[in-house]
Structure 1
Amino acid sequence: MSNPVSPNADMVGKAVPSVVFPFRENDQWVTASSDDLFAGKTVVLFSLPGAFTPTCSSAHLPRYNELAGTFAKNGVDSIICMSVNDTFVMNAWKEDQEAENITVIPDGNGEFTAGMGMLVDKGEIGFGKRSWRYSMLVKNGIIEKMFVEPDVPGDPFEVSDADTMLNYINPNAAKPSSVAMITKPGCPHCSRAKTLLSEHGIAYEEIVLGKDATSVSVKAISGNATVPQIFFDGKNIGGSDDLAAFLTNQK
């Protein structure tokens, strides 16, 4: 489906659309206005075609969530994910993605998206009206920078990603390592490894045996049958003792 703008540089320097968003919070209906979200703040917003869709779930949302701490260190007060979905879908998606660092805003009626000139018709795939994929940096309600995906068929994902936005804000920003740890319930060595990572302020994703993986998976991925197995940027560090030595050497 064609992008309605090419690209939407017209909005740079202008105020974000004035909209009131109804959504569910703690099983109650509440509202937030554009002023509530943007006034007096530096905000990164990224908008996407739909919750639970492949690119949005595998790359767009997770990377913004992963880099949230780095964005905060570089002056960003909040990160908003917006989609033309209802609040129940957006809340369920956030919980499923464990995206605790992201504020999800349902633009269920498409008012904000239409005001941005980003509302497109995806009726050919049964989506109806949805948002074109884009990101923007907003300071005190004024749009400073936009990254709008190119007008090509399908669902392009080339410029609205978290790394592109962070590089715009600070090309020299230090990005955290991607850390994952395979654990099993009741494992004292796993608990020690978690403590070590927490003490060093290192965020990690936990893969739990019996829930997310099996012992066969551990052996296939790491070459070892024991847990924990810790990985930094795709490199297997080893167990808790190996992690302690690794962190000491990093100082």
Structure 2
Amino acid sequence: MALQNREGEFVPNVSLKQRRGGELIDVETKDIFSGRTVAVFSLPGAYTPTCSSTHLPRYNELAEQLFANGVDEIVCLSVNDAFVMEAWGEHQEAENLSLLADGNGSFTEGMGMLVDKSDLGFGKRSWRYSMLVRDGKVEKMFIEPEKPGDPFEVSDADTMLDYLNPQASRPSFATVITKPGCPHCARAKQTLADHHIAYEDISIGNRDVTSRSLRAMTGRATTPQVWIDGQHIGGADELAEHFEKASA
């Protein structure tokens, strides 16, 4: 494939597409990169497994840390059309990211990252990579190794954050299982918000989660049940106690 590392070079000056407010608009790369620090991650395609489950979500999760360490904008780039990128962004809740469509592959080709994925029925697509661009010049590229399949080893958000600041902390993330109309659930979610912890709200009766599911996971049938970074905390009172102990 002969992928090309473009560190020290300027990014291609091309026009990309984006959907904003129901309108299809042109986005010039010079306007994105000039005088700014931009983290870019490029991937083979919207809605594909690794892109949807890991690559994009983690950049969204670590956005505040990346911004705090000097990044002005985080761009997700793919050789897809702007309509697909818009729909995928809404599906992924990628509120901290700018999803841009390189539908003709002109930017990707200029970066030396356009590859043939005809064996998967994709045609020409981007190889998976990320880069840090300062004032239009590529400072650092993280290019996935040239091997079969879709390797995902170095272009992740954590690697980018470590490059910017090896001592940077990671945000906590919570999962809350709730029940509609439950006042203790509302209290638990407010407690998490007060402590600036993002959370996923899974409601019983939705997404195939039932009271039996909750009992099987926790031994309890009461809501809410809260996990933080994979650790089961318990209900609203136990969540409050958790933060009280942490601040003691």
What TM-score results when the alignment is normalised by the length of structure 1? 0.95
Query: How far apart are the structure 1 equivalents of 2:239 and 2:35?
Result: 42
Q: C-alpha separation between the residues in 1 aligned to 2:86 and 2:130?
A: 20
Report the AA paired with residue 237 of structure 1: I
**Partner Cα distance (1:101, 1:224) in 2:** 35
State whether structure 2 residue 24 is matched by structure 1 residue 29: yes
User: Which ranges of structure 1 fall in alignment gaps of 5 or more residues?
Assistant: none
Map residues 72-83 of structure 1 onto 2, 5 A cutoff. Answer: 72-83=67-78
Deviates more, 1:30-39 or 1:121-130: 30-39
Aligned mate of 1:226, from 213, 222, 228: 222
Query: In the alignment, what sits opposite 2:205?
Result: 210
- Where does residue 123 of structure 2 map in the other structure? 128
Structure-1 residue corresponding to 2:157 = 162
Question: Residue 18 of structure 2 contacts residue 99 of structure 2 at CA under 8 Å; is this kept in 1?
Answer: no
Spell out, residue by residue over 1:180-215, the C-alpha distance to the aligned partner (whole angstroms, 9 max, x if none): 111122111111111111111111111122222222
CA distance in 2, matches of 1:249, 1:107: 49
Distance (whole Å) between structure 1 residues aligned to residue 192 and residue 49 of structure 2: 30
Matched, 1:240 2:236: yes
Match of 1:93 in 2: 88
1:250 Cα offset (Å): 1.6
> RMSD value over aligned CA atoms?
1.2
- Spell out, residue by residue over 1:106-126, the C-alpha distance to the aligned partner (whole angstroms, 9 max, x if none): 111101000000000101111
Structure 1 counterpart SS, 2:153: coil
Q: CA deviation at 1:82?
A: 0.6
Which of 188, 193, 210 is the equivalent residue of 2:183? 188
For residue 2 of structure 2, what is the aligned residue in structure 1? 4
Q: Deviations over 1:115-157 (max 9, x none)?
A: 0000001011110000000000111111110000001001000
The offset of 1:74, in angstroms, is 1.2
- Within 1, Cα distance between the matches of 2:45 and 2:212? 35
Q: Where does residue 100 of structure 2 map in the other structure?
A: 105
Q: Which amino acid aligns with 1:47?
A: S
CA distance, structure 2, for counterparts of residue 175 and residue 128 of structure 1: 37
Residue 147 of structure 1 corresponds to: 142
Contact 1:107 1:113 in 2 (8 A): yes
Counterpart Cα distance in 1 of 2:47 and 2:198: 24
Please say if residues 4 and 120 of structure 1, whose CA atoms lie closer than 8 Å, have aligned partners that are also in contact: no
Deviation at 1:56, TM superposition (A): 0.6
2:18 and 2:86 in contact (8 A); partners too: no
**What secondary structure does 2:198 align onto?**
coil
In the aligned structure 1, how far is the partner of 2:155 from the partner of 2:174?
Answer: 23
Q: Which amino acid aligns with 2:230?
A: G
Q: CA–CA distance in 1 between the matches of 2:216 and 2:103?
A: 44
SS at structure 1 position matched to 2:223: coil
Distance of aligned partners of 1:220 and 1:36 in 2 relative to their CA distance in 1, 3 Å threshold: farther
> How high is the TM-score relative to the length of structure 2?
0.96
Equivalent residue of 1:130, what SS?
strand
**Structure 2 runs not aligned, ≥5 long:** none
Distance, in Å, in 2 between the alignment partners of 1:39 and 1:226 is: 53
